[in-house]
């Protein structure tokens, strides 16, 4: 007798989805993962409940189900995330782009289309670009901008650069700890989604699969934001805007920091959930 594979039969699409449900996965997450491993559109699954998986497909799917159940972002398992209409590649080297951050992009695009509309080639910077989400979405919405993006992490810059190439967008990337390596020319618009979670916030445990340095600046969640605001004037043209994402309970503190630094027209925008999410102001120069 030859050696037998003693594992249970690979099973069907319906059985695979039922196993994922039993592990506590959202139905949508389970469908996205299975579609990914079968290399089929999600719609195909719905009509092929009885299709049989290969052992390799079953094993790969079950492994990802266990990782998802452990809190790994679905974007890391799929290797991609849609952000502001762009399909971005994401890896565990970068923060998983959040829909909240689209608030910052929309505000930037409104300024480029409004107060900054007369500038033929506005100088724009994304500080701490991660996957490149903000830089690429703004470049996509306002192609005339000269977009620069920086990050302290070489691994993150690699991901962002790959996204720019794949999307055919011109963005210039620099490895820099906030403003430290930035050279002229001065900016008309500076954008950032910096780390802003307090280092002892229990919420961080749920985000343990994402890069810690993209989530928290240390004990004081406002540390990176304060650093960016204080360093901004040396890099801004008169009339330039600085827009920052922050925590739902940090709006008042960020507005105060901007005003103390001398920014004018300081305001806050809310995200889709109604939380104060981005604050910014104009540099009078
Ligand atoms: N908004 C993210 C969260 O709280 C954090 C992103 C960040 O620190 N910039 O999950």
Q: What's the whole-model pTM score? A: 0.94
Contacts of 160 (CB under 8 A, 6+ apart): 94, 129, 130, 131, 132, 135, 136, 149, 151, 171, 173
pLDDT for res 1: 45
236 C-alpha vs ligand 1 centroid, how far in Å? 26
Instruction: Check the annotation: does 129 bind a ligand.
Output: yes
Which domains, ranges and CATH numbers included, belong to the chain? 4-70 (1.10.8), 94-282 (3.40.50.150)
Question: In 3D, which of 104, 173, 182, 184 has the Cα closest to residue 132?
Answer: 173
Atom of ligand 1 nearest to the CA of 194: 9
Predicted confidence pLDDT, tens digits, the chain (285 residues): 455 655 556 699 999 999 999 999 999 999 999 999 999 999 999 999 999 999 999 999 999 999 999 999 999 999 999 999 999 999 999 999 999 999 999 999 999 999 999 999 999 999 999 999 999 999 999 999 999 999 999 999 999 999 999 999 999 999 999 999 999 899 999 999 999 999 999 999 999 999 999 999 999 999 999 999 999 999 999 999 999 999 999 999 999 999 999 999 999 999 999 999 999 999 997
Instruction: Check the annotation: does 71 bind a ligand.
Output: no
């Amino acid at each position: 007798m030859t050696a037998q594979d003693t594992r249970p039969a690979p099973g069907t699409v319906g059985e695979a989805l039922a196993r994922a449900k039993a592990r506590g996965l959202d139905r949508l997450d389970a469908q996205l993962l299975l579609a990914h491993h079968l290399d089929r559109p999600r719609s195909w699954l719905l009509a092929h409940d009885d299709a049989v998986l290969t052992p390799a497909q079953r094993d790969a799917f079950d492994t990802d189900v266990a990782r998802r159940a452990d809190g790994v972002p679905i974007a890391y398992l799929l290797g991609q995330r849609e952000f502001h209409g762009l399909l971005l590649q994401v890896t565990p080297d970068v923060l998983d782009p959040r829909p909240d951050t689209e608030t910052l992009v929309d505000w930037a695009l409104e300024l480029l289309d409004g107060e900054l509309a007369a500038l033929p080639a506005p100088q724009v910077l994304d500080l701490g670009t991660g996957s490149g989400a903000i830089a690429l979405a703004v470049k996509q919405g306002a192609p005339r901008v000269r977009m620069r993006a920086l990050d302290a992490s070489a691994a993150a810059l690699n991901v962002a650069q790959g996204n720019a190439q794949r999307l055919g967008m011109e963005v210039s990337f620099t490895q820099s700890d906030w403003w430290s390596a930035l050279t002229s020319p001065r900016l008309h618009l500076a954008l950032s989604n910096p780390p802003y979670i307090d280092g002892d916030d229990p919420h961080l445990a749920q985000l343990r699969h994402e890069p810690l340095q993209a989530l928290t600046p240390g004990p004081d969640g406002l540390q990176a934001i304060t650093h960016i605001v204080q360093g901004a004037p040396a890099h801004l043209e008169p009339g330039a805007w600085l827009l920052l994402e922050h925590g739902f309970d940090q709006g008042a503190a960020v507005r105060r920091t901007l005003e103390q630094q001398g920014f004018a027209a300081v305001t806050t925008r809310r995200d889709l959930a109604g939380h104060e999410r981005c604050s910014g102001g104009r540099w009078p120069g």
